[in-house]
């Protein structure tokens, strides 16, 4: 097992018809494990809450037919990280754990090799997107089953942008600054998390850093954060915060931007589709004027951080074959057909068979069209260097979001913020 430092430990302390239609194998019938197996799965409690009930129902149905008992525990992002680190350190905990980003690299020695089932599922479903390999394949070995991309876009109020003189969403960050300045003067500021939000904060900060040409490491994994490009990104976010954003973004968690948008406090944020879903569910009037758009481009182009969700089998699991059967099932048409619809484009498959599927929300709901094809262009932490345990820890320790947040808050100068971040990065990469 990978030896974890004390710092690490404390820090992290329907369906058959659908199969035929898609021409896919009904994986739920391809069982290899013994009957009467018992499994435990810890996964994320979905922002689209009905998806938790649906997943439980689907897994219970599979469990009944396969003779496998499955206990599912839904938790938040931070709790998932804590459970993963604790299980890796102690050799006890849930058999299967969902993880974000490149954490399969961070905890690879605590995760079983699941290459056989991952390759089987990928081959049957048109192949995996490159982002799936970036996040889940460690030294040629699949340490986690790619499950879905939490597809992110700009979610914005078309009515307010039109009032500010914009009929389409700005294509560049510079143009968004101009638009956002006008919107804030109207009382409708922008809101992008520069707080410790594992999903939304990392997504915004890494995407902005990369699009300005900045990076934590280069292709040879040299630390290159101190660069003119990083300074330009920090200067930009400082101006964006002062001129165009709501003040509270410094302390936002992953649910704060959803709440702010739904309360009418901001005109734009970065998010998956859960804001639109919740607004339509609750009958919020301005949802008819809510749309999604691609992230803006920067001097280096459009480069977007992608939030990969995967499920790994811990090396202490008592029944690895049963665990692999469950991995196979959750990526089967029996699950993806209903879940793809229910998650409202939030859950985007990391294999390619559903890209053009007319039943998937991004292909029939115009407000969700901006999500289509996102797995093709996204990257995970480490880019343009290599996904690694260190790159994953940099993100999970909020080094980059803290760098951006400290500059916005005026708690550090740009020089001080970069210097602090580099000290933390060097410590992580050298440990």
Residue 34 has pLDDT above 60, yes or no: no
Most confident segment among 35-49, 121-135, 415-429: 415-429
Task: Give me 75's structure tokens.
Answer: 């938790």
> Which residue in 297, 299, 193 sits closest to 253, CA to CA?
193
**d(C-alpha 313, C-alpha 322), whole Å:** 10
**Does the global pTM surpass 0.75?**
yes
Please, are residues 264 and 186 in contact by the beta-carbon 8 Å criterion? no
CA distance 71 to 41: 6
Lowest mean pLDDT, pick from 19-23, 154-158, 364-368 = 19-23
pLDDT tens across 329-367, in order? 999 999 999 999 999 999 999 998 888 999 999 999 999
428: closest CA among 140, 1, 132, 11? 11
| 69-73 average pLDDT score | 96
pLDDT band at 151 (very low <50, low <70, confident <90, very high): confident
- What number of H helices and E strands is found in the chain? 18, 11
Q: Mean pLDDT, the chain, as a whole number?
A: 90
* Residue, of 156 and 3, whose pLDDT is higher: 156
Rounded Cα–Cα distance for residues 210 and 173 (Å): 12
> From CA 15, how far away is CA 336, in angstroms rounded?
9
How far apart, in Å, do the first and last CA atoms of the chain sit?
A: 16
- 235 contacts: CB under 8 Å, gap ≥ 6: 414
Q: How confident is the model at residue 388 (pLDDT cuts 50, 70, 90)?
A: confident
Work out the number of other CB atoms within 10 angstroms of the CB of residue 13.
11
The answer to whether 234 and 404 are in contact (CB under 8 A) is: yes
């Amino acid at each position: 097992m990978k030896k974890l430092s004390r710092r690490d430990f404390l820090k992290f302390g329907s369906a058959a018809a659908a199969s035929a239609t898609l021409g896919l194998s009904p994986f739920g019938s391809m069982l290899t494990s013994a009957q009467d197996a018992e499994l435990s799965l810890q996964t994320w409690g979905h922002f689209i809450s009905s998806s938790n009930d649906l997943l439980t129902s689907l897994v219970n149905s599979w469990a009944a037919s396969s003779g496998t008992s499955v206990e599912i525990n839904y938790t938040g992002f931070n709790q998932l990280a804590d459970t993963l680190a604790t299980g890796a350190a102690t050799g006890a905990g849930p058999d299967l754990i969902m993880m974000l980003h490149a954490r399969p690299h961070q905890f690879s020695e605590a995760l079983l090799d699941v290459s056989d089932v991952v390759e089987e599922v990928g081959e049957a479903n048109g192949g995996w997107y490159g982002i799936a390999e970036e996040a889940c394949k460690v030294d040629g070995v699949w340490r986690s089953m790619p499950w879905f991309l939490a597809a992110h876009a700009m979610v914005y109020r078309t009515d307010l942008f039109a009032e500010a003189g914009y009929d389409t969403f700005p294509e560049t960050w510079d143009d968004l600054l101009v638009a956002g300045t006008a919107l804030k003067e109207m009382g409708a500021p922008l809101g992008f998390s520069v707080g410790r939000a594992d999903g939304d904060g990392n997504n915004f900060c890494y995407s902005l850093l990369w699009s300005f040409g900045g990076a934590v490491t280069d292709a040879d994994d040299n630390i290159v954060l101190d660069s003119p490009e990083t300074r330009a990104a920090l200067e930009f976010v400082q101006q964006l915060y002062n001129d165009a954003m709501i003040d509270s973004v410094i302390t936002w968690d992953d649910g704060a931007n959803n709440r702010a948008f739904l309360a009418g406090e901001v005109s734009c944020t970065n998010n998956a589709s859960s804001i639109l879903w919740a607004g339509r569910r609750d009958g919020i009037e301005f949802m008819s004027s809510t749309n999604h758009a691609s992230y803006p481009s920067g001097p280096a182009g459009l480069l977007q951080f992608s939030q990969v969700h995967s499920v790994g089998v811990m090396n202490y699991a008592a029944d690895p074959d049963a665990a692999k059967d469950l991995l196979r099932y959750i990526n089967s048409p029996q699950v993806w057909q209903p879940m793809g619809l229910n998650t409202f484009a939030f859950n985007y498959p990391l294999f390619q068979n559903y890209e053009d599927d007319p039943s998937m929300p991004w292909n029939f709901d115009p407000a969700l069209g901006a999500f289509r094809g996102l797995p093709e262009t996204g990257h995970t932490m480490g880019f343009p260097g290599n996904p690694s345990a260190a790159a994953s820890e940099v993100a999970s320790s909020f080094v980059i979001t803290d760098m951006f947040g400290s500059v916005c808050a005026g708690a550090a100068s740009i020089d001080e913020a970069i210097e602090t971040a580099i000290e933390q990065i060097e410590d992580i990469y050298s440990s």
